[in-house]
Amino acid sequence: MTGKPRKHHFIPQFWIKRFAGADGRLWSYDHNNGRVSERSSKQIMQILNLYTVEPSYSDDVTLETVDLNKIDNDGNLVFDNILGGDLSESTRHDFASFLSAQILRDPSVVTTYNQRAQEITLNLLEVFDSPDFGTFCAKWDAQFPGTHVTELEFDHIRSKGLKNAENALELIINGLDASEGLPELPFTDAVRSPDGRKIIRDRLLGFDWTLKVDKENRFILGDAGVLYNRGTMQNVSVPLSCGAALFLTESKHPRPSISFALTADHEATNLNLESAARSRRWIVGGERDRVEALASQVGSNPLPEHTDI
């Protein structure tokens, strides 16, 4: 167990570093102690064993060291591309893939996986209340969009009989409810598998994307990272650096490439306030005064966490 990385960044360091000031200094507000201080990207926006599978048993940290490491390396490159002026369709697709993984790895989402998996497992008993596979699928797709049950699986569950199926599903639910959870189920596959991220990526690609540049480098970063409304994800905003942010808005005919615009004063102000208000612990920026002012404005009344996708 010695030597394994235990502090797992849910906001990658390469992203945090882009909010350092011209002098290379990074100022961070910490809700826990109420102070603004100069901090290293290594010291913030991380949680102990967040992505470790069964810390007391298999103690598998490969989600952090292998899978998320690759996602972050790819993400760093696409950040470089978009901030370097590559606003092409391929860059937009690459960035959507990174954002979908980023949304799924967020602590507020990671902690909901077991609860959601239990709900899905329990609803498999609906096969006994549906007259046929088609009726079951219509109800299932409405309740759990993006998930699938095959007709073979439907028939298999029915063949078990209600009592046997209840017993089998109860064992699964009990395993999910255990303090350590089950390896690989469910959040590891959601992050590791491109198919697990597809529904979010496709939703993001259904927006119009605009890169807005702020020549005064006023943007800050909160530890929510990707900002969106609860439920339907109608609009998405992503601070990329002190001088640039992505704004995603709903569109019936989304443009294939990324548009470009200069940031209006009110847009920079509003995005910073949202970043600060949605932060759970950390806010970072390149200027101490700006971070202090935002921390003071937000106070102790942050916005609700966006756990629903």
pLDDT at 182: 44
pLDDT in tens, 157-166: 989 888 888 8
pLDDT in tens, 38-73: 989 988 988 776 666 665 556 666 666 677 788 899
Question: Strand 221-222 and strand 35-38: pairing?
Answer: unpaired
pLDDT at 306: 42
pLDDT at 116: 65
pLDDT in tens, 140-192: 888 777 677 889 988 999 898 888 888 887 777 676 655 444 444 456 666 77
73 three-state secondary structure: helix
Structure tokens at 92: 């937009």
Residue with tokens 């569950």: 157
E-state strands within 7-126:
7-9, 27-30, 35-38, 46-48
Residue with tokens 């591309």: 81
For residue 80, CA distances in Å to 31, 74, 86, 98, 199 come to: 30, 10, 9, 13, 25
Domains of the chain by residue range: 7-113+185-298
pTM of the model: 0.76
**Cα 94 from Cα 163, distance rounded (Å):** 47
| Percentages of the chain per state (helix, strand, coil), in multiples of 5 | 50, 15, 35
